[in-house]
Amino acid sequence: MSNRRRQTGFSLLEVLLAITLLAILLAGAMSGIRAATRAMHAGEQNIERTNRLRVAQEFIRRELSRSLPLAFGQEHGSGANFVFQGENDFLRFVAPMPGHLSRGGPYVQTLELARGRNGLQLVFTHNMLNGFDLDKLKPDDGTPVLLLDGIRRGRFEYRKLDDRNELEDWKQDWENPSMLPVMVRIDLEMTAESGLIWPTMEIPLILDTSGGVRLFQQRLPQNGRGGSSDSSSSGATEKQ
């Protein structure tokens, strides 16, 4: 009788119950692993987006704060030099690029709020100032770089000094392209899906624009423009 009890194994019901409990434990473990994996990926994506925003802000602040009073074109009719162009969704200026991104010399740089798939995009383009021709500029010229997307709305604003050297109010259009503004403000509102918050940037710029005018006048003969004015001025000098 005792030998029969030792040889008796588990019943089918006991085996099924053990398998069921094991499956439940494995399912719970896999669910926890998947949840942990999703949380890890979400955290990595949030870190990546935050780093991208931080890098974009640092890059924009660096380039705008180093704006040079160099002219990159002339207005037809008045002959005014273009040193800085600014609108509520577009701005263009001249500044040196970081060493690892440039081939030397100043660059004509643009920031633009363009329409994208997930709202607005902050797009950056750059062209070397040497050989830059504003009249022949095409929409696909330069190397477009997407700095940031997932923008619900945004605007660029500009500030200058009045006749008493006091700061005026912010304006969404820069009225005098022949000089640099005192400050540039970039205000963006991100979409809820992006999970980002853009701290408003207020960036001070260089004020003196006389150097840009002189440099542009020196560049005119090299670009094949303004030769007649140079010859006329030299002829007037000879007559004197």
Domains in the chain: boundaries? 50-219
Q: Kindly state the tokens that stand for 14.
A: 């006991």
- Taking the chain, what is the end-to-end CA distance rounded to the nearest angstrom? 138
Q: Is the pLDDT of residue 93 over 60?
A: yes
188-192 long-range Cβ contacts below 8 angstroms, 24+ apart: 188/122, 188/148, 188/151, 188/153, 188/154, 189/151, 189/152, 189/153, 189/154, 190/150, 190/151, 190/152, 191/118, 191/119, 191/150, 191/151, 191/152
Please give the pLDDT value at position 207.
Answer: 58
What percent of the chain is predicted at pLDDT more than 70? 78
pLDDT number for residue 220: 45
Contacts for 149 with CB less than 8 Å, ≥ 6 apart = 116, 117, 118, 119, 120, 121, 122, 194
Percent of the chain with pLDDT over 90: 40
Distance separating alpha carbons of residues 34 and 149, to the nearest angstrom? 29
Band (3; pLDDT cuts 50, 70, 90): low
- CB-CB contact of 180 with 83 (8 Å): yes
Q: Give me Rg for the CA atoms of the chain.
A: 31
More confident position, 214 or 18: 18
pLDDT beyond 90 at 119? no
> Both tokens of residue 217?
């006048």
**What is the C-alpha separation between 77 and 74, in angstroms, rounded?**
9
CA distances from 142 to 59, 107, 120, 126, 179 (A): 18, 10, 20, 5, 24
Confidence of residue 5 (pLDDT cuts 50, 70, 90): low
Query: How many Cα neighbours within 13 Å face the side chain of 121?
Result: 12
Q: What is the mean pLDDT of the chain?
A: 80
pLDDT in tens, 178-211: 999 999 999 999 998 888 899 999 999 865 544 4
- Dist. CA 72–CA 92, nearest whole Å: 9
Could you tell me which residue, 132 or 156, shows the higher pLDDT?
156
Highest mean pLDDT among 29-33, 128-132, 185-189, 213-217: 185-189
pLDDT of the residue at 230:
41
Per-residue confidence (pLDDT) for residue 6, from 0 to 100: 56
d(CA 2, CA 19): 29
| Confidence bin at 135 (pLDDT 50/70/90) | confident
Are the CB atoms for 72 and 82 separated by under 8 Å? Answer: yes
Q: Is residue 227 scored above 80 in pLDDT?
A: no
For 12-70, write each residue's pLDDT tens digit.
Answer: 888 888 888 888 888 888 888 888 877 777 667 777 888 889 999 999 999 999 999 99
Asked if residue 42 lies in contact with residue 34, where contact means CB atoms within 8 angstroms, the answer is no
Q: What's residue 118's pLDDT?
A: 77
Which SS3 state, helix, strand or coil, does residue 14 take?
A: helix
What tokens appear for 118 in the block?
């997930």
